[in-house]
Amino acid sequence: MTTTTVRKRAATGALLGLALGDALGFPTEFDDVPSILAKCGPWREMELPRRAFVSDDTQMTLAVARALRTAMDRGLLVPDRLEPPLREEFVDWYRSPENNRAPGRTCLTACDLLEDDGRLWQDAGQIGSKGCGANMRVAPLGLAPGLSDEQRAGAAQLQSGLTHGHPTALAASDLTAHAVRLLAEGAEPTGLVGLLRSYALDNRTRYHHRWLGDLWTRSQDPTPEHFIARGWDDCLGVLERLQEALRSPSPETDPCLATGEGWIAEEALATGLLCFLLFPDEPVTALRRAACSAGDSDSIACLAGAFAGAYAGSDAWPTEWADRIEHRSELVTLGALWDH
Ligand SMILES: [Mg+2]
């Protein structure tokens, strides 16, 4: 961990940011922009609900974070050490009475299958689903210190595969964790899209056998490289749309018009990034823009909050917001663990 990330407390900033974005966007998830404006007033003044409930996005991020902490407490992060606690945390989430925050269908289906210990995770993950459910929860992989690039990428893709086995869900999860990492380490927002594009090109035909096993054989692809390249190509396509959107920024219009509504993995990443990159030095405005969007507002704002918080650190968020976010104490504890 570099001095910069420790000083600004990037992990705490990102974890609080993703939960705040989630809570701000949760009430507007299924509304279009005119209805949100009618309900909440001008978007630049959107207030965090008094009782700041998070949705499945934060609940599942915490599940990934706890599993990662458990696995890393036991030794070097390897697939066999990560998969059991991940499966346990996902199933606990699935069974929890608190799992009533508009959970995604793919996660419910896969968790029901993961409950059977005898079933390989590769047979539980939905190979046809590239919903944003896997990358909305991946930020902890970009925040935990001491991981190699191979561990971060492999683990980001593995945690996706347990529920979302589509190559685009895997690639977008890897790319989301990488973006969080870059920002925590102090990458400049202006160069971010270029760095992400290079990363996608470098990894385009790299299938992580050690982490994914034979997952790819459940698809129709002729080779593992062909399988994973489909995912990276979707990501490269949306990064191009993002770059185009940033050439003529339009902060007052619905960000989903430029990079998509975010129900699918690569669009959630791009629209979350767009909201952050429109306001790199105004984290709260970035969250409000993301929450005031036509698409999957809580997931878009959750990702925008992770990026903004990783970049600016824990001071990004107003104390009166951070103090009342649901799960505050666990988020802060995890953040402190990874910021030191
Ligand atoms: Mg949600």
243-275 pLDDT, tens digit each: 999 999 999 999 999 999 999 999 999 999 999
Task: List, in sequence order, every residue forming a beta bridge with 164; answer none if it has no partner.
Answer: 126
Distance CA 110, CA 256 (A): 28
Ligand 1 centre distance from Cα of residue 60 (Å): 9
Average pLDDT (49-57) is 96
Confidence band of 3 (pLDDT split at 50, 70, 90): low
pLDDT of residue 29: 84
Ligand 1 centre distance from Cα of residue 20 (Å): 12
pLDDT of residue 5: 61
pLDDT of residue 283: 98
Q: What percent of the chain has pLDDT over 90?
A: 96
Ligand 1 centre distance from Cα of residue 36 (Å): 17
Distance CA 160, CA 231 (A): 12
List Cβ neighbours of 79 (8 Å cut-off, separation of 6 or more): 154, 155, 158, 210, 211
For 286-300, the pLDDT digits (tens) are 999 999 999 999 999
Ligand 1 centre distance from Cα of residue 267 (Å): 15
Confidence band of 20 (pLDDT split at 50, 70, 90): very high
Question: What topology does CATH give the domain 3-339?
Answer: ADP-ribosylglycohydrolase fold (1.10.4080)
pLDDT of residue 177: 98
With a cut of 80, say whether residue 174 has pLDDT above it: yes
Average pLDDT (202-226) is 98
Average pLDDT (320-335) is 98
With a cut of 90, say whether residue 113 has pLDDT above it: yes
Q: What angle do CA 234, 240, 245 make, to 5 degrees?
A: 130
For 66-102, the pLDDT digits (tens) are 999 999 999 999 999 999 999 999 999 999 999 999 9
Confidence band of 340 (pLDDT split at 50, 70, 90): confident
Confidence band of 7 (pLDDT split at 50, 70, 90): confident
Ligand 1 centre distance from Cα of residue 132 (Å): 10
Backbone angles phi, psi at 264, to 5 degrees: -105, 155
DSSP secondary structure string, 66-92? HHHHHHHHTSS--HHHHHHHHHHHHHH
Among the listed residues 220, 136, 130, the one whose alpha carbon sits nearest the alpha carbon of residue 170: 130
pTM: 0.97
Ligand 1 centre distance from Cα of residue 29 (Å): 8
List Cβ neighbours of 281 (8 Å cut-off, separation of 6 or more): 312
Which residue ranges make up each domain of the chain? 3-339
With a cut of 90, say whether residue 4 has pLDDT above it: no
Distance CA 92, CA 88 (A): 6
With a cut of 60, say whether residue 1 has pLDDT above it: no
Distance CA 299, CA 315 (A): 22
